Amino acid sequence: MTAFYSPTETESALLRRCVDLAAEALDDGDEPFGSLIADAEGTVLFEDRNRVKDGDATRHPEFEIARWAAENLTPEQRATAVTFTSGEHCPMCSAAHAWVGLGRIVYATGTVQLVGWLAEWGVPSGPVSPLPINAVAPGIEVAGPVAEFADEVKALHARMRGL
Ligand code: ZN
């Protein structure tokens, strides 16, 4: 059983934007993931979506956020900023997030859910272990998944695979 997180109205709206970015990525031939970073008041500072279709499989939005934050935010701003994402960070992005000192993460759907969907569809596992954020970065406060986005995000991943 998945234990779902109940987001605030602001958090829900920011996650909505992430899922829309994920759909935009899929429409453009990339994988359905979208993310953004907001300051402590909920103002969006930077957003991006997956861009792997041209051959660089590290072009995850959460990785771009970590790099953007390292260049543009002070350590204090990074620590209090909140990252929102349509799908929980992979180990690469969790590590980048922690290395640059970013704060809390709120995700719409979790790695455990994605792994379950891929198993359901008989999709072979990828080259990186599907570890949850806290297995890679134990000091990061995380919240998710959020029930209202599960079916929609699952449908994006199904569509990506022609299902
Ligand atoms: Zn990633």
Q: Quick check: 11 and 40 in contact, CB under 8 A? A: no
Per DSSP, what are the bridge partners of residue 106?
A: 84, 143
d(CA 79, CA 112): 26
| pLDDT value, residue 1 | 62
Percentage of the chain surpassing pLDDT 70? Answer: 99
Kindly report, residue by residue over 32-50, the tens digit of the pLDDT.
999 999 999 999 999 999 9
Is the per-residue pLDDT at 21 higher than 70? yes
| pLDDT value, residue 2 | 75
Kindly report, residue by residue over 74-123, the tens digit of the pLDDT.
999 999 999 999 999 999 999 999 999 999 999 999 999 999 999 999 99
CA 59 to ligand 1 centroid distance, Å: 8
Per DSSP, what are the bridge partners of residue 37?
A: 46, 83
| pLDDT value, residue 125 | 84
CA 100 to ligand 1 centroid distance, Å: 15
CA 58 to ligand 1 centroid distance, Å: 7
Model pTM score: 0.97
Question: How many C-beta atoms lie closer than 10 Å to residue 75's C-beta?
Answer: 11
> Domains plus CATH for the chain?
16-50+60-160 (3.40.140.10)
Q: Which amino acid type is present at position 103?
A: G
**Three-state secondary structure readout of the chain:** CCCCCCCCHHHHHHHHHHHHHHHHHHHCCCCCCEEEEECCCCCEEEEEECCCCCCCCCCCHHHHHHHHHHHHCCHHHHHHCEEEEEECCCHHHHHHHHHCCCCCEEEEECHHHHHHHHHHCCCCCCCCCCCCHHHHCCCCCEECCCHHHHHHHHHHHHHHCCC
Q: Could you tell me the pLDDT band of residue 15, with boundaries at 50, 70 and 90?
A: very high
